[in-house]
Amino acid sequence: MPRTRRIEGYAIVSEDGMLANAAGIMPDSLKFAADRRFFESGLDGVDVVVHGRHSHERQQHSYLRRRLILTRQVPAVAADPSNEKALFWNPAGASFEQALAVLETPDGIVGVIGGTEVFGIFLDRYDVFHLSRAPDVRLPGGRPVFPEVPTRTPEQVLAIHGLDRGQRQVLDPAKGLAVVSWKRSSKFDR
């Protein structure tokens, strides 16, 4: 039975809204076991993972997942010779719907996992965005979670794009780590 498509975003960011440092690397200060478990169990529930060429999630179950890998090295959609469940996708040459159709997953749950540009592409389409915040970490000059950061905070960007602050889950009370799931308000059409 095909399900309606649902688009979920997952990110953990520093206090200044960065997902990686100035060198484009996700530092250990953004890595937490509790957030990794939250992220892994979320991705275990999706049908397709979508990410840029440098943002593979590298998890135990990654090999099971269908995925779209954004790259400008292909004109539109092309097979990934190293992974039969993956396609390379260039949004300049094929729509998201076209890419999903080639992947044979027109419906289902999509997990968008970054980086900056990829998160930005889906801002008007997320049903939910799970934003984890690493306390007491700042990454000046780093890679922002959305293109509009740091002009705006990640929360302001989500709100401008029609998402409402939702449930807050404390993932690690000792470390002050929490995730807020932002949900699309029904008054916004996509």
Ligand X SMILES: NC(=O)c1ccc[n+]([C@@H]2O[C@H](COP(=O)([O-])OP(=O)(O)OC[C@H]3O[C@@H](n4cnc5c(N)ncnc54)[C@H](OP(=O)(O)O)[C@@H]3O)[C@@H](O)[C@H]2O)c1
Question: What is the contact surface with ligand X in residues (CB under 6 A)?
Answer: 11-12, 19-20, 24-26, 30, 51-55, 70-73, 90-91, 113-118, 121, 143
State how far the Cα of 71 lies from the Cα of 40, in Å rounded to an integer: 24
Give min distance, CB of 150 to ligand X, in A: 15
User: 24 vs 185, which CB is nearer to ligand X?
Assistant: 24
Residue closest to ligand X, measured at CB: 52
Residue 26 CB, nearest approach to ligand X (Å): 4
Least Å distance, CB 88 to ligand X, is: 8
Cβ distance to ligand X smaller for residue 36 or 107: 36
Q: How many residues does the chain have?
A: 190
Beta carbon of residue 186, minimum distance to ligand X (angstroms, whole number): 27
Of the pair 107, 155, the CB lying nearest ligand X is at: 155
Q: Whose Cβ is closer to ligand X: residue 5's or residue 35's?
A: 35
